[in-house]
Chain A
């Protein structure tokens, strides 16, 4: 795992403002930013570990724990609220049996809130991994989740 981290750092460390590109590279490859990569990044960029940790914890998108197999980003912003995102959120949480920032026990799904996916003309919206969904209802959510669960 650390060899992947090292490769990413080597490839990107000379970019101006390299820290975010490096963190994205690591999260893309591993799904999260492992704690033991922090000192390696810090050393390569001549930063303190606190500075690197501070950046990871500042940005909502970066995570320091492994995600479930699929990450669901459910939009909570105003446009989606106007089309029933609040009720959808209740349904999603009870269907999965988890709250925001949690992962289902079987490791299939992580649930994260998101504040706008730019799909406001098709509210309510959500993103699962890289796929975006519009006009999501409780029924369409269930069928998407069931389909993804079967292909596990």
Chain B
């Protein structure tokens, strides 16, 4: 009987040599005349152990990592195919602390299965949610999602069920489901991981959304920087069509849903939902005024659900196990789980899916193991490039939408980027303004001009020129951006800038006391 070996096809694992490892394993097995079944799985999300190879044994799956192609011959010599002892052996995968402490609902299958095998997907509870949804009236599907308490995982945290309900109740011959897979925030990669590691769950979630609101067509707007996700999604969509999970007669039920992947072209602002729809329509990604809401007048002027990848990928388990099951995880008004992404200067970077409520400190130290450099963690940016920087004094904030809002920060898409004490926070603030200037769509003046002026002012501040005057000007600019911008790009760039200034005034050449006074004034 052949032995099953897993080597991830996740692009992060590939970036560390997983393809070379897979080739080396296949070659060694062939040379030694050993029959193996080499499966390319998704990543388990423990990137310091990638490429992580798993072998199926009678005791369960045993992990080895991080494996380089040069280790492969030695692993065979140590009989790793039967769980042999080797310095890279990590034990049973499921028993690894980092994984064992998690609550994986959305990522239940990721890393376990062959991402593009429909059989594997179905064998691991896949398409149970769709089967339930097919037997329910549309309003009941929407109700299940509303009851689950699911809020938009893209960052804005708007209740998904309410959005769906608006589309359901807006009559139209054509409605659309649009998946926002333009995951441009630095420090976030959960969308990429689920699309590469379990693409069918997104396809299923979108199909359920279509049934719920009466939409027959869906688009996944995927960033061009994700070629591996593109391939995985297209393969999954092809297989779903062939097996009757997509098309004009879903599982013989008579209803239809068609799905297509469209590529973005490197514009960060197209992660904003109205800009994304302009782009899908073949135009410059200029932000639209709201209202009308996309749920009433969205893509091609029709009622449209626009949801993030993780929101839609969380729908199948809600329809499988019920809204209550999902709602029972979490705290306060943040229900369910959030796939957090630990990145930057952190020892154990990776994906941590947990119910809301853990503190940032627990995430950084219990999971992350502190900084990668071994120096103290000085600041953490949560929620992408438009998220605030949190100083050590705020590390006990629970990971919860409202708790973050209370300290003028955002949880956003759950990306957490750690910086050690070598970081210059004034330089980070300057970068935020520069990024906004580069990525601004140009439609509204505060963002288009404010960001460029902000960059120039930060340059003056860093040169120590007219500090008092320029700090006041920076605050005034931020006020205009915050209150006058059309979308979150200009509207939230002040979060990283002002949080850096308020928490780390010494990096701006100010004494902490003087800054506090100015801040209070």
Which residues does A use to contact B, with CB under 8 Å? 16-21, 23-24, 45, 51, 54-55, 58-62, 73, 77-83, 114-123, 125, 127, 130-135
Contacts and interface: CB of A to CB of B under 8 A. Distances in A.
Contact of B189 (A19, A82, A119): A119
Nearest to A20: B282
Contact of A122 (B15, B192, B381): B15
Nearest to A80: B186
B12 A122 contact: yes
9 contacts: A20-B279, A78-B186, A79-B417, A114-B225, A115-B435, A115-B438, A118-B226, A127-B225, A134-B15
Nearest to A47: B282
List the 7 closest pairs (A to B, CB-CB), nearest first. Answer: A77-B186, A19-B282, A61-B266, A134-B15, A59-B265, A120-B343, A121-B349
Nearest to B267: A59
A89 to B, nearest CB: 12
A132 B263 contact: no
Given A54-B284, A78-B431, A121-B47, A20 B189 contact: no
Contacts of B283: 19, 51, 55
Given A115-B184, A120-B186, 12 more contacts: A55-B282, A58-B284, A78-B381, A82-B419, A114-B225, A115-B186, A116-B184, A121-B45, A121-B351, A123-B349, A132-B228, A134-B16
B67 to A, nearest CB: 15
B360 interface: no
Nearest to A16: B300
B345 interface: yes
A62 B284 CA distance: 12
Contacts of A20: 262-265, 279-280, 282
Interface in B376-397: 381, 385
Nearest to A59: B265
Given A82-B417, A122-B47, A23 B265 contact: yes
Given A23-B265, A125-B15, A78 B417 contact: yes
Contacts of A114: 225, 266
B350 A121 contact: yes
Contact of B188 (A45, A118, A130, A133): A118
Given A20-B265, A20-B282, A61 B224 contact: yes
A90 B467 CA distance: 29
Q: Which one of B11, B14, B15 has the highest number of Cβ atoms from chain A below 10 Å of its Cβ?
A: B15
Contacts of A79: 186-187, 343-344, 417
Contacts of B45: 121
B282 A121 contact: no
A45 B283 CA distance: 12
A45 B282 CA distance: 10
A118 B189 contact: yes
B439 interface: yes
A14 to B, nearest CB: 12
B341 interface: yes
A132 B14 contact: yes
A61 B184 CA distance: 13
A131 B282 CA distance: 28
Contacts of B280: 17, 20
Contact of A60 (B191, B266, B415, B428): B266
Nearest to B415: A120
A78 B381 CA distance: 9
Contacts of A130: 227
A119 B12 contact: yes
B184 to A, nearest CB: 6
A27 to B, nearest CB: 9
B349 A120 contact: yes
Q: Which one of A23, A73, A115 has the highest number of Cβ atoms from chain B below 10 Å of its Cβ?
A: A115
Interface in B236-278: 262-268
B147 interface: no
A132 B15 CA distance: 5
B282 A60 contact: no
B211 interface: no
B320 interface: no
Q: Which one of A18, A19, A116, A121 has the highest number of Cβ atoms from chain B below 10 Å of its Cβ?
A: A121
A131 B20 CA distance: 13
A121 B372 CA distance: 11
A120 B16 CA distance: 13
Contacts of A61: 224, 264-267
A130 B475 CA distance: 42
B188 to A, nearest CB: 7
Given A78-B428, A82-B418, A120 B189 contact: yes
B343 to A, nearest CB: 4
B263 A24 contact: yes
A123 B371 CA distance: 13
Nearest to A113: B438
A119 B266 contact: no
Contact of B265 (A60, A81, A125): A60
B423 interface: yes
B349 A118 contact: no
Given A78-B417, A116-B185, A121 B341 contact: yes
Nearest to A86: B427
Contacts of B191: 118
